[in-house]
Amino acid sequence: MGRKGIQLTVGLLIIAGGLVALAGVSFKENLVYYITVGEYLDRQAALPAQGFRVNGNVVKGSIVRFEDGAGVSFAITDGKRSFPVVYAREVPDTFKEGGEVVIEGSKEADGSFHARSLLAKCPSKYEKMGTEHPAGIPMDSATTQTPGS
């Protein structure tokens, strides 16, 4: 391999190394941790200021809607512990007391969590412990009918 071949190989290795380093930094900046309420409360001090999602349920009786209509404050729980959340945007239609939510945002000095996004999970309307059809007909009493019978 001549001198130009070595220079070309070294140049390509430097470019490839730079691209890998750039991709790694970019990936790390966009990494979002997914944690529970308990994990959030246990690891608050060690968590980054941003870049994580917390999953839990809305505490019944905790929802306070903002007077201007866009946004709410509420508490999120894992069934044992809870913490306050502020969300200053339009809430999804499926957001309700006791409902499961995933919030993404940042912790604040006052102890509250300021959510940038709020995902309200809704239970499937067909979830009935597997005992009924969507129309409400018990599965064991459903019969198959053939045409003309």
For 69-82, write each residue's pLDDT tens digit.
788 999 999 999 99
SS3 69: coil
Q: What is the pLDDT of residue 21?
A: 77
Taking residues 33-56, report their average pLDDT. 79
Confidence bin at 146 (pLDDT 50/70/90) = very low
pTM above 0.75, yes or no: no
Does residue 131 surpass a pLDDT of 60? no
Give residue limits of the domains in the chain.
1-31, 32-120
- The Cα-based distances of 29 to 33, 95, 113 in angstroms read 11, 29, 20
Q: Find the angle CA(91)-CA(97)-CA(99) to the nearest 5 degrees.
A: 80
What CATH number does the domain located at 32-120 have? Answer: 2.40.50.140
For 86-113, write each residue's pLDDT tens digit.
999 988 888 899 999 999 888 887 777 8
Confidence bin at 145 (pLDDT 50/70/90) = very low
Instruction: Tell me the three-class secondary structure of 33-62, residue by residue.
Output: EEEEHHHHHHHHHHCCCCCEEEEEEECCCC
Residue of 65, 44, 51, 54 whose CA lies nearest to 118: 54
More confident residue, 102 or 32: 102
**Look-up of token digits 């499926």:** 94
